[in-house]
Structure 1
Amino acid sequence: MRSYLILGMCALFLVQYFAELNWLQFVVVGLSILAFLGSAFKADRFPRWLGIIMMTAGIVIEWHKGTGVQGISDGIFLILPLLCLLTLAPLLSVPLRLSGHFGSIAALLRNLMHQPRKLYAGITGTLFLLAPVLNLGSVRILNEFMEEIKLPSTMSAKSYLVGFSTAVMWSPYFASVSLVLHYLNIPFEEYILYGIGLSVLSLVVGNVLFALWEKGNPLSDRSATKAPLEKEHRRQMIKLVLFVVILMSACLVVEKFTHWSMIVIVCLMSILVPLGYGVVSKDWKRMAAPLVDLRDRTVPMLNNEIMLFMSAGMLAFAIKGTSAANGVSTLLVHLADRSFILFALAVMLIVLSITYMGIHQIAAVGALAMQLNPAEIGISNIGLALLLLLTWSISTALSPFSGLNLMVSRFAGISGVQTGLRANGLHLSILALIGIAIISYIG
């Protein structure tokens, strides 16, 4: 029943986006509140209480601002696109599973299992390709392939976090990119090259550091035989690359000609791509099982995400314009006048401090994106977006409370602090310094 409630909320949001009916907005907000309350009973203890506290604080702050029910409704409605994105994006895994791409990825990684540096490049490269479309599902799927290889804990922590965190900085299928570009009013087509450039840089730094680390911690078996990858698997990998390129290109083309919100475009693509695959392949029977699994297992498992996303979004919206937010904004503008590096480091420190307490990046980064004025800081909208997304990516990897860190630490069998800070602290520090230097140059 909760699945139908959440899916119905997503469907009505998309209708409301085009119909722009005020009464329908209240209906959608009502459904989202029911979904929030329903998720509260099923969520894990920490996200449940954190979500309740943040939602309560957001509502109380917004009420005291004098906006009343309309303000609270606007705050909740503002975060609904991200919930729709979170719910509908997993639909894209259906055609990928049925087309045999995942089997070819598994074959590629098995082929590299005795060549640690190439295997690391294969894992991070695969996540660079899959994570923008499948989100955390990409890590889960890849780990299933890796279980028989039994990677060392440090290698798992390094490869999974480096590969996945790149998508946080450029993929329109991620809440991070959609939220920041939406708040800063930046078209995705203007941002994508900057985002991909920073992501590729992170990938290169990660692979170079791993090669240096592997020299002192040899993992290779030089006596192992190496077999070439079969032609069919190579063909499937090429098809996978083309699929991602075509999908992202289609999103850019639709945005350019319609000027719709990129979040809405991505949600529509998440529905239309599997539908198109079913029409072309006429394989509706095979599609039925993963679609039912999505309805009965994937959507009901979003309890923690719904609690954290909705409550953090409400809190970020409510904080905007308060004396505390204005004070932080004034401090950051003052630092920016003195030095961009001080400003950038302060932004990173604020977000990392908040996320290390367990509060989702949406609350911290969302509040900063809504509060800061790029003109006052002396940088462009693109520059501020890059800084916020770089910070989001770093905090996702470092915070022991982030969904990525929790999942990877569980797979690697080590603590969240070991996964984030110890295994990837050097990589993230170098990336932060290089990123700040690039952003200051872009201006």
Structure 2
Amino acid sequence: MRSYLILIMCFLFLIQYFVQQTWLGYVVVTFVIASFFASVIEARGFPRIIGLIMMGTGIILEFYKGAGINGISEGMLLILPLLCLVTLAPLLSIPLKLGGYFEAIDLLLRNLLNHPKRLFAGITTSLFILSPILSLGSVRLISEFLSDLKLPSAMSAKSYLIGFSSAILWSPYFASVSLVLYYLDMSVGKYILYGIGLSVLSLLIGNMLFALWEKKHPIDNRTDPEVPLAKKSRKQLVQLALFVSLLMSCSLIIEYVTKWSMIVIVCIISCILPLIWGLITKSWSKLLPLLKNYKDQSVPMMNNEIMLFSSAGLLAHAVQGTNLANSISKMLTIVADQSFLLFALCVIILVVVITYIGIHQIAVIAALAMQLNAEQLGISTLSLAMLLLLCWSISTALSPFSGLNLMVSRIVGISGYEAGIRANGLHLTVMAILGLGIIMFIS
């Protein structure tokens, strides 16, 4: 029942985007609120607590501002596109499963066991490509491939966090890029090349630092015989890279031609692509069970995402226009007038501190995106977008309460502090310095 509730919410949003009927907007908001509370019932632990706190605080602030029900509705409608993106994007993984691409990645990684540096590069690159499609499921997938290999915990923590956090910077199929560009009213086409550049830089830095780390902490070479990849596997790996490139290209072309929101484009492609795959391959007997599995298992597993994104989005909207938000915005504007570097450092520290105590990135970064004005700051919208996404990437890897850090620390068997700061602190520091240098250069 909960799956139908969430899926109906998504499809009503897509209809509302094109028909723009006020009454339908209220209906959609009702479904968002119902989905939130249905997810709260199933959620457990810290995410449930922080989700309720953010939702309660957001509602109180909306009434305190005098916005009341209308303010709550606006907040829900603002975060609704992101909820739909998170819910529908996993449909893109279905053609990959049917095509056997995951097995090709498994074979590739196992073939690199005797070469730690190559294996590290293989893991981070695989996550870089898969994360925009599978989100956190990519980390779970790669960890399952490597579960019986007993890799050092530090190596696993470094590879998982570097690969995933690098992908956060570039893909419109990720919540980070979609949300920031959506609130800054910036097209993906104007950002994508810069985002890919930052992401590749992050990957290169991560792999270089791992090479230095591996010299001081040698990893025993495996004695497993190397088996050259079969021609079919090599072909599938090339096809996987082409698949992701084609997705990005189609999305950018559709955005350029139609001027639709990229989030809406991604949602539509996510829904249509499995059906196109079924028509081309005529493999409906294999496709239908995966669609049923998506409805019955994948959607219900999104409790934390639905709950946290809904509450964080409402809180971000509710904070906008408050005395606190206006004071912070005014302070940052004054700082930006004096020094862009000091302004950027203040933003990074603010985001890292707030997310480190458990507040989701969406709440703080969406609030900043809605509150800050690039023109008033004396910088370009591109610079502001790159700065906010750099903050998102760094805070996701550092915060012991982020979904990524919680999953990695659980898989690897170390604390969130060890996975974030100890294993990846140097990489994130270097990336912050170089990233700020690039942003200052283009600002």
Q: TM-score interval w.r.t. the shorter chain?
A: over 0.9
Preserved CA contact (<8 Å) 2:84 2:267:
yes
Counterpart residue number, 2:326: 326
CA deviation profile, 1:87-143 (whole Å, cap 9, x unmatched)? 101111111001010111000000001110000000001111111111111111111
Counterpart residue number, 2:140: 140
Preserved CA contact (<8 Å) 1:398 1:417:
yes
Counterpart residue number, 1:17: 17
Q: Distance in 2 between matches of 1:230 and 1:214?
A: 29
Which amino acid is the alignment partner of residue 289 of structure 1? P
CA deviation profile, 1:153-202 (whole Å, cap 9, x unmatched)? 00100000000111111111111111100111110000000000000000
Preserved CA contact (<8 Å) 1:320 1:371:
yes
Paired residue secondary structure (1:354): helix
Using the size of structure 2 for normalisation, the TM-score is: 0.98
Preserved CA contact (<8 Å) 1:400 1:417:
yes
Counterpart residue number, 1:248: 248
Counterpart residue number, 2:364: 364
Preserved CA contact (<8 Å) 1:96 1:102:
yes
Counterpart residue number, 1:100: 100
Preserved CA contact (<8 Å) 1:92 1:270:
yes
Paired residue secondary structure (2:168): helix
Does residue 41 (structure 1) correspond to residue 45 (structure 2)? The answer is: no
Which amino acid is the alignment partner of residue 36 of structure 1? F
Preserved CA contact (<8 Å) 2:5 2:35:
yes
Paired residue secondary structure (2:326): helix
Counterpart residue number, 2:221: 221
Q: CA deviation at 1:67?
A: 2.2
Which amino acid is the alignment partner of residue 64 of structure 1? Y
Which amino acid is the alignment partner of residue 134 of structure 2? L
Q: Distance in 2 between matches of 1:55 and 1:297?
A: 26
Counterpart residue number, 2:206: 206
Counterpart residue number, 2:311: 311
CA deviation profile, 1:305-343 (whole Å, cap 9, x unmatched)? 111100010010011111100100111112112211111
Percent identical pairs in the alignment equals 59
Q: Distance in 2 between matches of 1:262 and 1:186?
A: 10
Q: CA deviation at 1:372?
A: 0.5
Please say which of residues 46-55 and 193-202 is displaced more in the overlay: 46-55
Paired residue secondary structure (2:241): helix
Counterpart residue number, 2:50: 50
Counterpart residue number, 2:86: 86
Which amino acid is the alignment partner of residue 33 of structure 1? I
Q: CA deviation at 1:223?
A: 5.9
Please say which of residues 185-194 and 222-231 is displaced more in the overlay: 222-231
Please say which of residues 289-298 and 412-421 is displaced more in the overlay: 289-298
Q: Distance in 1 between matches of 2:280 and 2:29?
A: 36
Q: CA deviation at 1:68?
A: 2.8
Counterpart residue number, 1:60: 60
Preserved CA contact (<8 Å) 2:113 2:222:
no
Counterpart residue number, 1:74: 74
Counterpart residue number, 1:195: 195
Does residue 432 (structure 1) correspond to residue 432 (structure 2)? The answer is: yes
Paired residue secondary structure (1:441): helix
Number of matched pairs? 443
Counterpart residue number, 1:258: 258
Structure 1: segments with no counterpart, 5+ residues? none
Preserved CA contact (<8 Å) 1:115 1:220:
no
Which amino acid is the alignment partner of residue 105 of structure 2? I
Structure 2: segments with no counterpart, 5+ residues? none
Please say which of residues 272-281 and 52-61 is displaced more in the overlay: 52-61
Which amino acid is the alignment partner of residue 438 of structure 1? I
Which amino acid is the alignment partner of residue 301 of structure 2? M
Counterpart residue number, 2:345: 345
Give me the CA root mean square deviation: 1.0
Preserved CA contact (<8 Å) 1:186 1:381:
yes
Please say which of residues 198-207 and 277-286 is displaced more in the overlay: 277-286
Preserved CA contact (<8 Å) 2:124 2:160:
yes
Aligned runs of 1:101-116 on 2, under 5 Å? 101-116=101-116
Q: Distance in 2 between matches of 1:81 and 1:196?
A: 23
Q: Distance in 2 between matches of 1:248 and 1:209?
A: 29
Change (3 A) 1:236 1:18: same
Does residue 413 (structure 1) correspond to residue 413 (structure 2)? The answer is: yes
